[in-house]
Chain A
Amino acid sequence: MPHDHPDHAGISASGHPFRPDNDTPLTYWQRMEVAVRELLIEKGVTTPAEIAAQIDAMDARTPANGARVVARAWTDPAFKARLLADGSAACREMDFDIGALNLVAVENTDDVHNLIVCTLCSCYPRNLLGLPPDWYKTREYRSRAVREPRAVLREFGVELPAQTRVRVHDSTADMRYIVIPARPPGTEGMDSTSLAALVTRDSMIGTGLPRCP
């Protein structure tokens, strides 16, 4: 099972796992980062407040953004067509600040299930889904998702019929990917806000399915 703090190094006297304080010397690249940041501030190129605001903006991105896109695709066929044709343009239409993101949207249907991975590193549509989950960056997920996607999906609780075609997408270069999961049965008549609440992060990576109402 996923574990909240996998990097703890010990167990306290009261039995709680802990991570030791980071009293070790800075690494070469940490020193480099501190030096460049301090120089940029000293020279007036940026300010600590601007850096904090940018970190806030990055942390504020959540899968709720992607869920809004999916819910709109479920309720607006013309939007879904535009999303499948040009994912970036369709997201900008919804006023998301997606920066230079080049987005490809792929659609799950009765016949096709899509799964996203980046075997080379950890490419992920952060502007739309926030930070990737830790497992997305592991060597295990990156290597197994392309080699045995159905076994990986089973471990995520997704059992696909044999006749469903699995399409794995390896984000090797400039594109980022979002899965438009199939709209769950029993959601006819729901508005897009209620629908968005059914769209999980994993369902947009392809390792999960949306919730049923």
Chain B
Amino acid sequence: MKKLSYLVAGILVMLMLAACSSDSSANSEEDSGSSGENATSDTVETGAVETSVEATGDEDVMLDFWIHQTGEDETNAYIELIDAFNKEHDDIHVNAEVIIDDGASAYSDSINAALVAGNLPDVMAVDGPYVSSFAEAGVIQPIDDYVDEETKSQYVDSIIQQGTYNDKLYSLGAMEASVMLYYNKDLLDEAGIEPADSIEEAWTWDELMENSKKLTNEDRYGLNLFMNYGVGEWLTFMGAPLAWSNGGALISEDGTKVDGYLNSPETIEALNYVKELFAEGVVTDSPGEMQFEEGNAALALGGPWIAVSAEDAGLNWGMMPYPFKDEKVSPSGSMAYAVTNNTENPEAAVELMKWMTNEEATVKISKATGMPPAQKSAFDNMEKFNELPWSVMKEQVLETAHARPATPAYPVLTDAFAQSFHAAALGEDVESVVEQQVQRVERELKRFEE
């Protein structure tokens, strides 16, 4: 018995060590996989990193600044920008804290905890569509007093749209995001299909359906919708433009009513189009992590990070604009910065936000992440956006980008849409699923009625 327990203890220790090492490697893989924003970095540092620069002169204002971490290159770019800010400003000192964003709830859990404990930082990174709920709850404050119209006009419209709630500006972002229709050049050539090189030529829903069918055979799928990201924000981000393009909506313009919007005939029709794509067998609900990159899908509706991973995989790829039905719209929105109500120095805080999102910063962060910049002028400074295939992404961000709805009930609304999208993919009856979700969101919306 004693011998046995020694043995068990020994095995335990050994396996724990083994488990720890496999733990960290698997986790970092998962990090870069699920966030998807930095497919190039193999190792993702975990844990909080503190950056601080030696005090220079009078430190009148101390600012605490929370930034999210999805990839190493991106974080390094932020830290360099913050260091430069501290050097430039004698009277402001920024303490940055880097918090892991695993694509799920790790970052928002940190915010929630700090919120309840009452120790939010002065400035924090928030995901675009969540701005309105923070604004409604008075967690973040409007910054119109410190941002003039000229400064505002330098940002791409969708970033201002995403940061505005009840006609007040709350957030500024450094990067945009988009979803492109990526294609495998070799497979399209083989099938004799012409790609669209500009928004003018964008494919219609019918063309997407038809070409996906042509490109599907025994060995591969015609289209990849990255269902492996799970039932979450991705489905709303990628899928909502289908509804908008068809004249549908997720919620009323003022963000207070879903009945008649989420279940409008136009939105239902868009979800039925999704259902048809799956029913035709041109797309799978469980693609492998690298289905498009490995040539197992000819087309893919993916984020900017797919360009990076396709390039790394040595794929002969290109990108097309987001397909449309009536109106040409495309996904938009990314992490942005907002000033919390916890700050005593909103002016200095906004100064920091402007610094983190100025032309130089957006170029730097775009280079580190592959995401499109949020400043209009940055596009002109970056060579790659003036030629194919990146020119298509630039066009899309400047012309068709559509922010996700601004409503305090966003967390429930996005889940409701994602669940409906997923149900459609599984071939369920769209109308009845959507109807259930409408009731759920309506209940949540009551909370915010006056």
Q: Do A and B bind each other?
A: no
A residues neighboring B (CB under 8 Å): none
